[in-house]
Amino acid sequence: MLRIISTSAVIAAMAFGVSATALTAEQKVYKEVRTQNPAGEVVLTREEAKLVTPGEKVIYALQYLNDKSEPAGDIVLTMPIPSDVAYIEGSAETQIASLLYSADNGSTFSERETVMTIDVDGSLRPAKAEELTHIRWTVTKEIAPSERGELSFKGLLK
């Protein structure tokens, strides 16, 4: 069964910090493709994810550009994880931002190892990767004028 990937809900749910109006951001969804080069080495590439089969790896990328003449700071970007995508543990690593996660539809955020969810018996327990609902990046540096970059995470289509 093939599914069409939609990004409109993800784009609408992004939240920007105080001075992040200096950024232009575009959401992209890719699928990871494995090929073999002439030397026999496996090469991973990305292609636009128009149709994806359950079990395929998808990459949700937020590509940004500071299109203003001054640095942009205090940037906070929050991206929901689509309900038909299971987050791949550790895939949201980034060099320029700290990460927080939510398992309650974005009501609360914490570091990955402390994200909790309510079990069927009503007790709290650590959330599994596939139970995460949102990722929040707090950019830890200013983005210079004309600087481009990307924040992303990987998931498996359920």
**80 neighbors 132 (Cβ within 8 angstroms):** no
> Residue 10's pLDDT is what?
37
Mean pLDDT computed over every residue of the chain = 85
**How far is residue 78 CA from its own chain's centroid?**
8
- In one-letter notation, the amino acid at residue 118 is I
**35 neighbors 45 (Cβ within 8 angstroms):** yes
Alpha helix ranges (H) inside 1-158: 8-12
Nearest alpha-carbon partner for 100 in 140, 156, 60: 140
Is pTM beyond 0.85? Reply is: no
Say which CATH number the domain at 91 has: 2.60.40
> Residue 96's pLDDT is what?
92
Per-residue pLDDT tens for 51-67?
889 999 999 998 889 98
Domain limits for position 79: 3-157
> Residue 32's pLDDT is what?
86
Distances (CA, A) of 110 to 101, 103, 106: 5, 9, 10
Q: How many domains does the chain have?
A: 1
